[in-house]
Amino acid sequence: MVDERRYSIFDEKILRDELDALHANPVHIDSTWRFILAHKNAEAYDTPDLPLRVRTLFSTKFKTMTSYVHTQHDSLDGRTTKLLIKFQNGLSAEAVIIRHDSSAGKYAGGPRTGAARATLCVSSQVGCKMGCTFCATGTMGFKGNLSAGEIVEQLVHASQITSIRNVVFMGMGEPMNNYFAVVQAVKTMTGRCFQLSRKHITVSTVGIIPKIIALKADLPDVSLAISLHAPTQELRAEIVPAARSFPLSKLIAAVDAYLVGSKSTVFMEYVMLAAVNDGQEHAHQMGKLLNGRKVVVNLIPYNPTTVTMQFKASGSTEVLKFQKILKEVYGIRTTVRQEMGQDIDGACGQLHVSHLSNKPSRPNSTVLDIEDLGLIK
Ligand code: SF4
């Protein structure tokens, strides 16, 4: 059987190498991408003024899009849109658009275009092998890495719905376990065609220390988000199994190294789990752990899903007490993430693809850490 899979035209490294091999001008990369973005359903090989050999290359080795939006769900308030994207190998992942413009709360219909400050949460893998205990994606197991082109295509799909300013790698998967594709995708997103600012890109990790160090060199100025979730090694190892390989003391040392001479922000993500990590003693432990460091703590209300039943969400009183201790006792900048998209399972910790359906995916839903960096900078 012939494998008809072809490279994504947004797989920049492969595209550049193939053009080099033909001694073709790389200027065709940007002109082709701009043409595709400006003309929905256009084919790359139809880009005006392409030499014949480039046109032939595009039609034989590449696909204009290797993925499509299988389903789109809009939250009732119109602020969140979840896209279930199907790839040419049959696997699917989810991307979530979060709108933060001031009129968002007034909207009660379908998606709008032109929102001023939309954030896109992209997936870097299908499933995940890290097994964080509160995470719906972790229950899927690992199904596969996405290519750089497949990651960029999530931005292409989202850009056809609304204008995207921020991209966060907090969807399905551990980005550092697909490091080279993630780095390549960020370079493309921040290049001359898409023109996103590196300051508006955030890469999340459970704490893969060697890749945190590498990221600083490879993508200076992107923001880093650490899925911390516990203030001590013992508790963290229970919630985030990867902590057994990457202990908290070494992780904090890696964060310190990342911050030296860097203009980027480090976010500490902390999902609030009732009677597990939300006590005042935990807040003091966090305060002491992070004291004096230029980090932002992001407290995330836990989103219960039917695939991860073992935890309950902390009450708002506990969350606010926790925040108060960090801010007032330790002077640590601390935000409480807005809960958005719960009605479509597009909120943090809810991304989970167990099947393809035309119905809203609740309760078998999606995984994620949603962040609008614009709100807290
Ligand atoms: S929280 Fe992130 S790293 Fe952990 S299992 Fe879920 S997707 Fe993987």
pLDDT in tens, 200-214: 999 999 999 999 999
Q: Quick check: 367 and 352 in contact, CB under 8 A?
A: yes
List all residues 6 or more positions away from 335 whose beta carbon is below 8 Å from its beta carbon: 296, 297, 298, 299, 323, 375, 376
Task: Compute the average pLDDT of residues 31-41.
Answer: 94
pLDDT of residue 115: 44
| C-alpha–C-alpha distance, residues 101 and 59, integer Å | 40
| Least confident among 132-136, 137-141, 194-198, 230-234 | 137-141
Verify cis geometry, omega within 30 degrees of 0, for the bond prior to 363.
Answer: yes
Q: How many percent of the chain have pLDDT more than 90?
A: 77
Q: How far apart are CA 278 and CA 317, in angstroms?
A: 10
Our CA angle for 228, 232, 238, nearest 5°, is 75
What would the mean pLDDT of 117-127 be, rounded to a whole number? Answer: 95
- The whole-model pTM stands at 0.89
Find the length of the chain. 377
Apex 231 CA angle, 225 and 235, nearest 5:
110
What single-letter DSSP state applies at residue 76? T
Residue nearest to atom 7 of ligand 1 (CA): 173
Q: What is the mean pLDDT of residues 144-156?
A: 98
Which of 121, 318, 348, 371 is catalytic? The answer is 348
For residue 130, how far is its CA from the centre of ligand 1 (angstroms)? 6
CA distance 12 to 324: 46
Give the chain's mean pLDDT.
87
So what's the pLDDT on residue 307? 63
- The confidence score (pLDDT) of residue 347 equals 45
Q: pLDDT band at 321, cuts 50/70/90?
A: very high
Residue identifier of the C-alpha nearest atom 4 of ligand 1: 132
Is the domain covering 67-373 a CATH 3.20.20.10 domain?
Answer: no
**Active-site position among 12, 94, 174, 371:** 94
4 among known catalytic residues: no
Atom of ligand 1 nearest to the CA of 135: 6
Distance in Å, CA 3 to ligand 1 centroid: 31
Q: Taking Cα atoms as reference points, which of 1, 159, 167 lies closest to residue 65?
A: 159
User: What are the structural domain ranges in the chain?
Assistant: 7-63, 67-373
123-127, 186-190, 263-267, range with the lowest pLDDT = 263-267
Mean pLDDT of 321-335: 97
Lowest mean pLDDT, pick from 53-67, 106-120, 248-262, 310-324: 106-120
* Best of 126, 205, 367 for a ligand 1 pocket test (most atoms within 8 Å of beta carbon): 367
Question: Distance, CA 184 to ligand 1 centroid (Å)?
Answer: 21
In this prediction, residue 344 has a pLDDT band, given cuts at 50, 70 and 90, of low
pLDDT at residue 231, rounded to an integer: 98
To the query of whether residue 132 is one of the catalytic residues in this protein, the response is no
pLDDT digits (tens, 9 = 90+) for 173-196: 999 999 999 999 999 999 999 999
For a ligand 1 pocket test, name from 145, 206, 211 the mutation site with the most ligand atoms within 8 angstroms of its C-beta: 206
Cα 347 to middle of ligand 1, angstroms: 14
pLDDT above 80 for 116: no
Atom of ligand 1 nearest to the CA of 205: 3
- The residues lining ligand 1, judged by C-beta closer than 6 Å to any ligand atom, are 128, 130-132, 135, 137-138, 172-174, 206, 227, 367
Q: What number does the ligand 1 atom closest to the CA of 172 have?
A: 7
